[in-house]
Amino acid sequence: MRITQGTFSFLPDLSDLEIRAQIDYALDQGWAIGIEHTDDPHPRNFYWEMWGNPMFDLRDAAGVMGDLGACRQAHPRAYIRLNAFDSTRGFETTRLSFIVQRPLDEPGFQLKRHEMEGRRIQYTIESYAACAPEGRRYPE
């Protein structure tokens, strides 16, 4: 399957040129860029691993692309996403977030149903990948 988290997941995977354009847009707004990666893409897993701290005061995408390249090398089979953080009062949150790398094969999620009283069902979503230990979740 293909998880559709992030702002551009329904579009074909972004090329490096397209990624740069989005980074430049975020930098133009004065936002800081953070790179994160994970092998557990559960929808409620908000905290992916950070690849370094968010980068502040950058003016050009080249700085981010260098770090992104290093992250890709270190984690070739993980999900990687870019976040843009806005510190303006009234926002103080993420303003843009999109996936820039995915594992070749995404196994997806199992919906577990636990019957309760009446017709009620308690639902849990479990990531197939996360059943394996870290580091062995996605095939070569």
Partner 1 sequence: MASARDRYKSGVMPYAQMGYWDADYEPKDTDVIAVFRISPQEGVDPIEAAAAVAGESSTATWTVVWTDRLTACDAYRAKAYRVDPVPGAPGQYFSYIAYDLDLFEEGSIANLTASIIGNVFGFKPLKALRLEDMRIPVAYLKTFQGPATGIVVERERLDKFGRPLLGATTKPKLGLSSKNYGRVVYEALKGGLDFVKDDENINSQPFMHWRDRFLYCMEAVNKASAATGEVKGHYLNVTAATMEDMYERAEFAKQLGSCIVMIDLVIGYTAIQSMAKWARRNDMILHLHRAGHGTYTRQKTHGVSFRVIAKWMRMAGVDHIHAGTVVGKLEGDPNVIKGIYSICRDSFTFRNLEYGVFFDQDWAGLRKLMPVASGGIHAGQMHQLLTYLGEDVVLQFGGGTIGHPQGIQAGATANRVALETMIKARNEGQDIWNDGPEILAAAAKWCSPLRAALDTWKDVTFNYQSTDTADFVPTAVTA
Partner 2 sequence: MNDPAPDSSGPHDITQSVDVQALSADTRIGDVLDELDRELVGLKPVKARVRDIAALLLIERARKQVGLAAGSPSLHMSFTGNPGTGKTTVAMRMAQILHRLGYLRRGHVVAVTRDDLVGQYIGHTAPKTKEVLKKAMGGVLFIDEAYYLYRPENERDYGQEAIEILLQVMENHRDDLVVILAGYRERMETFFRSNPGLSSRIAHHLDFPDYSPAELESIAARMLESMQYRLSSSGAAALRDYIPLRMRQAHFANARSIRNALDRARLRQANRLFARAGSKLTRDELMTIDDADIRPSRVFTQGEP
Instruction: List residues near partner 1 by CB under 8 A.
Output: 1, 3-5, 7-12, 18, 21-22, 25, 41-44, 46, 83-84, 89-98, 108-111, 119-123, 125
CB of residue 65 to partner 2, shortest distance in Å? 9
Location of structure tokens 């050009």: 60
Pairing of strands 109-115, 79-86: unpaired
Q: Which does 60 bind (CB under 5 to 8 A by kind): partner 2, partner 1, none?
A: partner 2
Residue 125 belongs to what H/E stretch?
A: strand 121-127
CB of residue 39 to partner 2, shortest distance in Å? 25
Q: In angstroms, rounded to a whole number, what is the distance separating the alpha carbons of residues 24 and 29?
A: 9
Q: Which does 73 bind (CB under 5 to 8 A by kind): partner 1, partner 2, none?
A: none
Residues 42-61, interacting with partner 2 (CB under 8 A)? 55, 57-61
Location of structure tokens 């070749």: 104
63 is an interface residue for partner 2 by CB under 8 A:
yes
Site string for partner 2, 66-85 (x = CB under 8 A): xx------------------
Q: For residue 50, which of 34, 73, 63 has the smallest C-alpha distance?
A: 34
Q: In angstroms, rounded to a whole number, what is the distance separating the alpha carbons of residues 89 and 78?
A: 33
Residues 109, 42: contact at Cβ < 8 Å? Answer: yes
CB of residue 23 to partner 1, shortest distance in Å? 10
